[in-house]
Amino acid sequence: MEIIAYLASALIGISLGLIGGGGSILTVPVMVYLFGVNPLLATSYSLFIVGTTSLAGAYQNFLHNLVNIKIALLFGLSSITTVFVIRKFLVPIIPKHLFSIGSFQVTLNMVTMVLFALLMLVASFSMIKDKAVIETKSRAYSGHTLKLLYYGVGIGFATGLLGAGGGFLLIPTLVILLGLPMKEAVGTSLLIIAMNSLVGFTGDLGHFEIEWFFLFTVTGIALAGLFVGIFLSKKFDGSKLKKGFGWFVLIMGGFILTKELLQ
């Protein structure tokens, strides 16, 4: 099982390098179901892994002038603040046992995984959707920077609470609201994800007992996978792979949702 878990860690980076996103949505399930990490701690580990891997991906895109620094910082005003506040002040005070419905116990771990499964379902539809549709819409709705700040709060909330990068939400937002070309939106979203995730992780310091060797090992494997994915992206059609990965995420999200609600 451990070997499978480390291979899955590589898949996180490979998918990020291959299709420009989506890999982060696998990090928490890999941590919980393959490594046996507590769900809440898994969201913390996910922030570090996703943040570090996305930063490396953003740097690669920056070298090709595919990162809009100004927009990344504008978005970060609301998203980074939201992530940090949630991880530093909200997450530590949420009780582990939330409530009961008869003999059915609703715990924080269960709610975390159910919400994450729902997020995976939303992400899968975003990845399956034809990117041409998004690009067509961008011509009609570009320029709403105030809305970008509102979206930043929403994506910051998802990142802070669940440890997901949110690239599947960020990319359509950057394309539709600001009219960025798809490749530039991908590069910019990676920088935003990196900032959100790493700042969010700093909010966890002192609240969790971090196994640093384990965390660095998984992160290193994910980073190696990232560069493999970047290499493969030059040889394969990313849009078709993204749709296939979207269907995989859809199945995984359905499995997690069923498992958590029926256990």
Over residues 101-113, the pLDDT tens digits come to 888 888 999 999 9
Alpha-carbon distance of 252 to 148, in angstroms, equals 30
Residue 245 tokens read as 């990965």
Alpha-carbon distance of 48 to 26, in angstroms, equals 14
Mean pLDDT of 50-76: 90
Residues 43/162, Cβ–Cβ less than 8 Å = yes
Per-residue confidence band for 214, with pLDDT thresholds at 50, 70 and 90: very high
**pLDDT for residue 140 is more than 60:** no
Alpha-carbon distance of 155 to 160, in angstroms, equals 8
pLDDT, position 136: 53
Alpha-carbon distance of 91 to 69, in angstroms, equals 30
**pLDDT for residue 141 is more than 70:** no
Over residues 146-165, the pLDDT tens digits come to 777 788 888 888 888 887 76
Would you say how long the chain is, in residues? 263
- Each domain of the chain, given as residue ranges in start order, spans 2-262
DSSP codes, 47-114: HHHHHHHHHHHHHHHHTTT---HHHHHHHHHHHHHHHHHIIIIIGGGS-SEEEEETTEEEEHHHHHHH
pLDDT, position 135: 55
Alpha-carbon distance of 128 to 66, in angstroms, equals 23
User: Which residues on neighbouring strands pair with residue 208, listed in sequence order?
Assistant: 205
The region that residue 38 occupies, defined by phi over 0 for left and psi between -120 and 50 for alpha, beta otherwise, is beta
pLDDT, position 180: 83
Residue 250 tokens read as 């859809």
**pLDDT for residue 144 is more than 70:** no
Over residues 218-253, the pLDDT tens digits come to 999 999 998 998 888 777 776 777 788 888 889 999
Over residues 3-26, the pLDDT tens digits come to 899 999 998 888 877 776 666 788
